[in-house]
Amino acid sequence: MRAENAEQAAQIAKLLAHIQELEARLAKDSHNSSKPPSSDLPFKKPPPKSRRQRSGKPPGGQAGHPGATRALVGTPEQTVIVPLEGACACGRDRAELDVEVLPERPALLRSRFECV
């Protein structure tokens, strides 16, 4: 009977070690091991992204803040017209199309082309 008790105690110790190993394996995820994030369990809630409290102000610049936008120039020093390249949806080469340059603002130019 003592031999049987010793055998059972050894088996219990072995099973407890195996249970601890399995629980340690279950506790691992992508944050504390080299496992990829896709292997994380779906029911585990992710930690909050930020613990900062909201200030209640709207995002962006606040009212009364001076802007830092560059002013448009009436007569620019240089104007670059970019030629049309590639094919149109109908298959014609865009370089062959008639282009009319339309001044939208003195500093900005826009091209308009029509493909028939």
In angstroms, the Cα distances linking 77 to 68, 73, 83, 109, 113 are 22, 9, 20, 14, 26
More confident residue, 16 or 48: 16
Query: Who's near 11: CB < 8 A, 6+ residues apart?
Result: none
Q: Is residue 108 a contact partner of residue 80, using CB atoms and an 8 Å limit?
A: no
Q: What is the pTM of this model?
A: 0.32
Tell me which residue of 97, 101, 102 sits closest to 114, measured CA to CA: 97
What is the C-alpha separation between 40 and 19, in angstroms, rounded?
Answer: 21
Domain assignments of the chain as residue spans, ordered by start: 1-38, 82-116
Query: Who's near 28: CB < 8 A, 6+ residues apart?
Result: 35
Confidence of residue 107 (pLDDT cuts 50, 70, 90): very low
